[in-house]
Structure 1
Amino acid sequence: MVALTSGVVSVARTLDRCTVLGPGVRAVVWVQGCPLRCHGCVAAETLPFEGGTARPVAELADWLAGLGPVEGVTLSGGEPFSQPEALAALLDAVRERRPEFTAMAYSGFRHEALRRGTAGQRALLDRLDLLVDGPYVASRHAPLRWRGSANQRVIALTGRYEDLLAGPDTSAGLEVSLAADGTLSWAGVPPVPDFRDRLDAQLAARGFALRRADPAHPEAPGSPPGPGDPDGPARPGYADPAGTGAGDPGAPGDPAGRPREARHDSTHDDKDEVRGEP
């Protein structure tokens, strides 16, 4: 087993109860930082590696283990596989107290690419029950269950949810909540494209302004959660979400990598190219 040494997760936001980002009632952890730049990403505030809140693994594990009637956690972002060691350690710590606690994660990289990733990334993958893989491709937006574009897949990595995946592949919708302090937040995968722009326009037409979060203060009022269709590296600095085995344009060992823009080439069907942008 790989040694899991990282004890801190950079977190953009958490939610203790959600029914639209995975099966059943789940907690959600949106991590801070993503090295890709998918056109149409609905949570640009989670992309910079700067900012976020440093949360000790032990603290997050206590929170998850004490939530009560939730069946698992969904890891979103941001890119969970940019912080794999800490997240793998988090799942281990929770399952010491709640062995049946399930785990689902999103990644902008294909399952095949993650299997060729770092030891930490493979360790996180081995602890998941479900994976949603692939970058969000705006030109292929579709109202699908737990994902935003037709190139993305829901992959059962254990037998826990195989029967569930045989059901209708339709959007799970969004959940909107209003906190006592007036903070409006939403969770889920938007069933329509350009959701953030449409939401801002509709609110503005009614005299409201939705304040975008500052990455340095991710839990400020008005900060929406991360998307259900984030993106990220197969390994630090490695931009190959389609699992093509293309060369590594980034700097190995750099946990932040370099920003990439995901672009879809329609001649490649479900293979989505990611070309490095300096």
Structure 2
Amino acid sequence: MTASIALSRIHFPVTTLGPGRRIGIWFQGCSIRCPGCISMDTWAPGRGITTIDEVVSAIAQWMPTADGITISGGEPFDQPVALMDLLGRLRSLTEADVLVFTGHPWIKIRETVDAFPGLIDALVTGPFDVNQSQSLALRGSDNQELHLLTTLGQTSFGSFQRPITEAERTVDVMFDDRGDVWFAGIPGRDDFRRLREMLENAGAKLSTSDDKRASSGGMSAR
């Protein structure tokens, strides 16, 4: 029997969370809940329940042309068994690199990662901190760390051990069947606040997962 997994969404292509055109997989449910996170919709557990077989079937059409796979959330390591089961399946089907984002510190999830060597090529660890500066590539706040765990990870992500460039402060825009709009990427700290204010000033009525109207307008990087 295939394992169950709680997912928020999948999307292809994602071009802002790692190199190339990537398959994006967002887990549903987060125990960390960083202040300023733009993905509050992925916090609640018990939603989006599916099976790993169904996930693999859904993304199989993209596998031949995908340069990599990025897994975020929500919090992937809140579902460690499902995460590793999914990664094992993906590794058997593609040679594309795998990047995983987690809000847990490295010391907390290292034992789990080490028990399944080779499944994750690059790993961004640590909670998003809205009060930290935001100057590093692939990271929403500078307390987060990028770990290169395999030779493929070093090849694909070694160039991201550096400051972020302005050209990288972009987002992918996604639409679902209900007309909801999703963003993925590493925007500037106040970018989404300014966008929201512009749309509201133009008369738009918005319902967002980020319902915090703090002046910091903090946004996470995934």
Q: TM-score, normalised by structure 2?
A: 0.81
The question of whether the paired residues in 1 share the 8 Å contact of 2:30 and 2:42 is answered with yes
Unaligned runs of 5+ in 2: 210-218
Letter in 1 for 2:147: I
TM-superposition CA deviations, 1:161-219 (whole Å, max 9, x none): 324423553153212245687543221122224x4433322211111123236xxxxxx
* Distance of 1:61 and 1:177 partners within structure 2: 20
* Distance of 1:66 and 1:76 partners within structure 2: 20
What is the CA-CA distance between 1:125 and the residue it aligns to?
6.9
Percent pairwise identity: 29
Mapping for residues 243-262 of structure 1, pairs under 5 Å:
none
* Two-structure CA RMSD over aligned residues (Å): 2.6
Alignment CA distance shift 1:181-1:6 (3 Å): closer
The question of whether the paired residues in 1 share the 8 Å contact of 2:27 and 2:42 is answered with yes
Higher relative CO (CA 8 A, sep ≥ 6), structure 1 or 2?
1
Q: 2:101 aligns with which of 90, 95, 106?
A: 106
The question of whether the paired residues in 1 share the 8 Å contact of 2:130 and 2:141 is answered with yes
The residue aligned with 2:151 is 159
Letter in 2 for 1:17: P
The reply on whether 1:33 has 2:29 as its aligned counterpart is: yes
The residue aligned with 1:65 is 60
Q: 2:187 aligns with which of 167, 183, 190?
A: 190
* Distance of 1:103 and 1:80 partners within structure 2: 13
The residue aligned with 1:259 is none
The reply on whether 1:55 has 2:39 as its aligned counterpart is: no
Alignment CA distance shift 1:64-1:102 (3 Å): farther
What is the CA-CA distance between 1:126 and the residue it aligns to?
4.9
Letter in 1 for 2:159: A
Alignment CA distance shift 1:125-1:75 (3 Å): farther
Instruction: Determine which structure has the larger helix proportion and give its number.
Output: 2
Unaligned runs of 5+ in 1: 214-225, 230-278
Question: Residue 172 of structure 2 aligns to a residue in which SS?
Answer: strand
Q: TM-score, normalised by structure 1?
A: 0.66
The question of whether the paired residues in 1 share the 8 Å contact of 2:91 and 2:119 is answered with no
* Distance of 2:18 and 2:51 partners within structure 1: 24
